[in-house]
Amino acid sequence: MLSLKNSLAVLRKTNALLDGHFVLSSGLHSPSYVQCAKLLSFPNKSEKFTKSLASKIKKKFKNIDIIISPAMGGIVIGYEIGRILRKETIFCERVNGNFKLRRGFNVKKKSRVLIIEDVITTGKSSLECAKLIKKSGAILLGFACLIDRSNMQTLKIKRKKIVSQVKLKIPTYKEKNIPKSLKKIPITKPGSRFLK
| Residue with more model confidence, 6 or 39 | 39
Residue 195 confidence (pLDDT) above 50: no
Angle at 61 between CA 154 and CA 130, to 5 degrees: 45
β-strands 98-100, 112-120 pairing: unpaired
Residue 135 confidence (pLDDT) above 80: yes
Give 75-116 pLDDT, tens digit per residue: 999 999 999 999 999 999 988 888 888 998 989 999 999 999
Q: How many CA atoms lie within 13 A of 163 on its CB side?
A: 20
For residue 154, the model assigns a pLDDT of 67
Give 44-81 pLDDT, tens digit per residue: 888 988 999 999 999 999 899 999 999 888 899 999 99
Q: Average of pLDDT values for 131-140?
A: 91
Q: Average of pLDDT values for 107-126?
A: 90
Dihedral sign computed on CA atoms, order 108, 57, 131, 91: negative
Q: What single string gives the DSSP state of each residue in 122-139?
A: S-HHHHHHHHHHHHTT-E
| Residue with more model confidence, 159 or 131 | 131
**Fold topology of 4-194:** Rossmann fold (3.40.50)
For residue 194, the model assigns a pLDDT of 43
CA–CA dist 119, 126 (Å, integer): 10
For residue 122, the model assigns a pLDDT of 80
pTM, two decimals, is 0.83
Give 144-177 pLDDT, tens digit per residue: 999 998 877 767 777 678 999 999 888 888 889 9
Residue 1 confidence (pLDDT) above 90: no
